[in-house]
Amino acid sequence: MVRQRDSEQDETSTDSRSQPLKPDQTPRPSEDRELGAIAQRRADQPTQRLGQVLDHRRHPHAQRRRRASALRRALASALACLTCALAVAACGEAQDVTTPAAAKTLKVMLDWFPNADHAALYTAIARGYFKLNGLNVEPVIPAESAEPLKQLAAGKVNIAISYEPQLLLAREAGLKVVSIAALVQRPLTSIIALPSSKVKSVADLAGKRVGTAGISYQAAELHTALRKAGVNPSSVTEVNVGFNLVQSMLSGKVAATLGGFWNYEAIQLRQMHKHPLVIPVNEAGVPTYDELILAVREHEARYDGEELRSFLQALSSGERAVQRNPQAAANLLVEANPDIERKLQLASIEATLPATIPTEKGKPYGWQSPSQWARFDEWMYSEGLLKRNPNKEGYPPFTNEFLPGQGI
């Protein structure tokens, strides 16, 4: 399964030799110090309110509207709790909850079809955690994975699940979107190869064909990995195989792929007894980043803080429930998407759980590391994927303000 697709679905081949080779772009010591200072400034103010950064000129009635909105949500939550108590007394199950009349509907667009990456969301919905917070959450499946951030910016949905690199590219294109939480704390994207290819390391890719999903930053990730391994990128032929990452390896069309996820395609191949080589891109020289993030419009981040806090509080409860019972979470995903395999989803959930826990001790579910974002932003800029350096533009691509225990 590929969460990103290129408009070009047919296999096309591009020889890196037709492109000028970039020199080794390892940051100089002075750049490391500057980047470290940027990260430290972000870390020193992890709960800075996004609205204070984006717009100091508040609407004169904004504070009054927020107080009134908070009061309405408090009343809705109280009504939801009362309804839940009555339902439990009558039926003995906490999940049997009636949506309160004042519940706010939030449409959440997934990055792809329902799968293990969305276990916390579907669990929180099924267990009524959102309803207890006065919210009625409706998942929306995209036609393609490039769609969520566009639909979000257009006001078609309230929240979108996407990827850190995609969010940075969307902001570069002018979309007013911002990340409010990380669902997966490190890259899932990996270099994958089968034993028949004789590829045992990145260095073995020299002179071979490597398939990608045709995404610009995937090509940059491949070039970074090759340079790190001492391989001239011009010696490797990149092939856009679109969705067919697994099939292109099984058929022998390519020796390896970059674009599949270690928690999905790699597990799928193992369950087929293919014994793949799997190298996550952050272990091959690419700076770590948050593979899956939750994005909202900047306007909502300024004015709908209490609503976003309620959403993330409920989602955090859903994640804890997944950790306690992965099998139940897999069952919910199969109910939502009967086309997926229960065995694969359970294995994927269990493999992904450690990657949902922040590496910084004591930080809540969804935490986004300021130093990590600073380094990956710089890498995107140095690779020519961004024309503007996000570290020097003065606008934040993410905020931790709405996570449980933050921004209060």
Q: What is the pLDDT of residues 57-87, one digit of tens each?
A: 334 344 444 444 444 554 455 444 444 444 4
Residues 6+ apart with CB under 8 A from 115: 1, 264, 333, 337, 340, 345, 348
pLDDT at 77: 52
pLDDT at 54: 41
Phi and psi at residue 248, to the nearest 5°: -65, -30
Show which of 218, 252, 283 is a domain's final residue. 283
- Residue 219 sits in the same domain as residue 305: no
pLDDT at 73: 52
1 within some domain: no
- Residue 256 sits in the same domain as residue 167: no
398 within some domain: no
**Domain harbouring 205, CATH code:** 3.40.190.10
- Residue 168 sits in the same domain as residue 307: yes
- Residue 21 sits in the same domain as residue 116: no
Residues of the chain with pLDDT under 70: 1-101, 394-395, 408
259 within some domain: yes
- Residue 51 sits in the same domain as residue 148: yes
- Residue 315 sits in the same domain as residue 220: no
* Long-range contacts at 268-273 (CB < 8 A, ≥ 24 apart): 268/1, 268/344, 269/192, 269/194, 271/343, 271/344, 271/347
104 within some domain: yes
- Residue 55 sits in the same domain as residue 131: yes
- Residue 64 sits in the same domain as residue 179: yes
The range of the structural domain enclosing residue 270 comes to 12-25+188-283
296 within some domain: yes
Cβ-in-10-Å burial (0-12, 13-18, 19+) of 139 comes to: middle
- Residue 54 sits in the same domain as residue 83: yes
Helices (H) and strands (E) in the chain, counts: 15, 11
364 within some domain: yes
- Residue 69 sits in the same domain as residue 170: yes
Number of independent structural domains in the chain:
2
Secondary structure, 3-state, 267-317? HHHHHCCCCCEEEEHHHCCCCCCCCEEEEEEHHHHHHCHHHHHHHHHHHHH
Q: What is the pLDDT of residues 237-253, one digit of tens each?
A: 999 999 899 999 999 99
Show which of 283, 299, 331 is a domain's final residue. 283
- Residue 197 sits in the same domain as residue 182: no
395 within some domain: no
- Residue 344 sits in the same domain as residue 220: no
Show which of 283, 314, 347 is a domain's final residue. 283
